[in-house]
């Protein structure tokens, strides 16, 4: 798919559906051994707002906007970026994944309760020395 065939280092296309695209960061290390599986950084591109409840369908309506949301954990997410169409949402997801992979995204600011040890390890994984990025 255009825009997703050459993702930044560490990002993988997990699923590519008509109404939802899912990108994941380093699933090889978020395996409950080195990093908690529930903390797998995930970018959702959805046609319509993604429901928080597990098992709910994503039902889009004609003309509904596209949402690009980064989740660091089930309850830790970045405010969604809203785009008018799928190509613009894919471009936004590509840019978001690139900033994350370069260590240019302040994911520490998304946590209300800091998890310093985990975040320090995530900084090492993304190349953010000292967690100041």
Q: Which of the four pLDDT bands, split at 50, 70 and 90, describes residue 50?
A: low
Q: Please count the CA atoms within 13 angstroms of the CA of 17 that sit on its side-chain side.
A: 13
Predicted TM-score (pTM) of this structure? 0.81
Residue 133 has pLDDT above 50, yes or no: no
Q: What are the residues facing 20 on neighbouring strands?
A: 46
Residue 34 has pLDDT above 60, yes or no: yes
CA separation (Å) from 127 to 29, 30, 70, 102, 110? Answer: 15, 16, 19, 7, 18
Q: Which residue has the higher pLDDT, 64 or 57?
A: 64
Residues 73-121 pLDDT 10s: 988 999 999 999 999 999 999 999 999 999 899 999 999 887 888 899 8
Contact 86, 47 (CB under 8 A): yes
Residue 60 CB neighbours (<10 A): 16
């Amino acid at each position: 798919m255009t825009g997703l065939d050459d993702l930044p280092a560490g990002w993988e296309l997990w699923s590519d559906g008509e109404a939802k695209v899912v990108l994941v960061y380093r699933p090889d290390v978020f395996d409950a051994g080195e990093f908690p599986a529930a903390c797998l950084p995930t970018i959702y591109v959805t046609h319509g707002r993604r429901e928080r409840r597990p098992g709910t369908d994503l039902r889009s309506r004609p003309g509904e906007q596209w949402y690009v949301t980064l989740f660091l954990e089930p309850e830790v997410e970045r405010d969604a970026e809203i785009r008018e169409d799928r190509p613009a949402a894919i471009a936004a997801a590509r840019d978001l994944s690139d900033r994350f992979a370069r260590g240019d995204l302040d994911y520490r600011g998304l946590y209300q309760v800091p998890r310093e040890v985990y975040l320090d390890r995530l900084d090492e994984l993304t190349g953010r020395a000292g967690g100041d990025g």
